[in-house]
Amino acid sequence: MSRYFTEDHEWIRIDGQTGTVGISDYAQGQLGDIVFVDVPEQGKGLSKGDEAAVVESVKAASDVYSPVSGAVIEGNAALADEPALVNSDPEGEGWFFKLTLSDPSELDSLMDETAYEAFVAKL
């Protein structure tokens, strides 16, 4: 499985034609305690860069953008009852949604983990 990052601090983990999307550990650290997450509905079509989800913390509300185009196959229902999963495991159980990729070549414009770490180090 490969993982890629956006400059808006979303990550996507690829397994075949399926991508799992969430926000990075850096992003959740900047937001603080997460109190609410709104994930997209199954079947929703997303284009790269579309607003896909909303995350609210004690500090602010932020949009989460789709790193690639595709159709949502699942939203993480666990976040409705336990939004703090985004804080405790942002790059694991705190994922936001899964989608079927419609254009895998869009991954080419994203950063790998090494490039993302270098990007965050400059912030």
Q: CATH number, domain at 52? A: 2.40.50.100
The structure tokens 């180090």 sit at: 121
The structure tokens 């650290």 sit at: 29
**pTM of this structure:** 0.96
Q: Which of 68, 63, 77 is nearest to 101 (CA)?
A: 68
pLDDT tops 80 at residue 51: yes
pLDDT digits (tens, 9 = 90+) for 60-86: 999 999 999 999 999 999 999 999 999
User: Across the chain, what does the average pLDDT equal?
Assistant: 97
> What is the predicted pLDDT for the residue at 65?
98
> What is the predicted pLDDT for the residue at 1?
74
The parent domain of residue 90 ranges over 2-121
pLDDT digits (tens, 9 = 90+) for 6-25: 999 999 999 999 999 999 99
Work out how many domains the chain is built from and give that number: 1
